[in-house]
Structure 1
């Protein structure tokens, strides 16, 4: 049961727009637009989501990633990607990480602590679900403000 719950949460099922489709149909130039009324561009949100998703996945592999010295380290230096290639690679990185997290959620030992820590894989996956969900809402909001929502292959639903 917990496996299905975590997998559905990672994918955004029954809660909000499908997580793996958030960036569909958005070109790299629009991804860098920081709309009035929004603190971040879609590019900044994607970069930040990747940073922490990769961090949590490294923790799940017991790699002990180093926490950022400054919270701003988890954000890009610019609201714009430097190129279409950089944007495409970042979207691909996000989707691959989401796939890896979903695979982690299918394992049997989700309630056993990792490496003597108090947190379990299920705990860390819930942190990832919450973090991605929070920022997914910001992505939808930013895309609406720049006139890029809904994605061409999706619908208006973000619930």
Structure 2
């Protein structure tokens, strides 16, 4: 296996597997609907806000990585939902589906035959595809840990 394929496989493992932690998908599995919008004492966010934040940030990184006309989002306002709970079950499911779909779109960028993982983006400040992949993996892992913590506080961890 060549070095690019090994690197892409390592990045995919970071993006898709839990490694030392629970996966995002295990963390959001079987959460009672009435717990999605509950903000525990001494915690800043509900599960919904954490998951929606993951979606928004991942979308921004994907857009930055593929769009030469990328427009920067406003931090922190554009990255955190104001609502503590999804409007309904459909919005919750749609958000999870979008996270999954856009993660696979990002992986397609990594797997593209002409992808240069370390070539700086023309519109960035030295950022490149490898860096953005690690950023998504790190960001999702961090907030997945918060989701698990909130679930434990709310007594809804399996």
Shorter chain as denominator, the TM-score bin is 0.7 to 0.9
* Count of equivalent residues: 150
Work out which of the residue numbers 35, 60, 63 in structure 2 matches 1:58.
Answer: 63
* 1:6 to 2:14 alignment: no
Where does 1:83-94 land on structure 2 (aligned, <5 Å)? 83-94=88-99
TM-score by structure 2 length? Answer: 0.84
Over 3 Å counting, the alpha-carbon distance change for 1:27 and 1:102 in structure 2 is farther
In structure 2, the residue matched to 1:122 is: 130
Q: CA deviation at 1:36?
A: 1.6
Q: Secondary structure at the match of 1:123?
A: helix
Superposition misfits of 4+ residues, deviation over 6 angstroms? none
- Structure 1 gap ranges (5+): 151-159
Once structures 1 and 2 are overlaid, which stretch shifts more, 140-149 or 21-30?
A: 21-30
Structure-1-length-normalised TM-score = 0.84
Identify which of structures 1 and 2 has the higher relative contact order when contacts are C-alpha pairs closer than 8 Å and 6+ apart. Answer: 1
CA contact (8 A) 1:62 1:115 kept: no
Q: Which runs of 5+ in 2 are unaligned?
A: 1-5
The 3 A distance-change label for structure 1 pair 33 and 116 is closer
The counterpart of 2:118, out of the listed 111, 121, 127, is 111
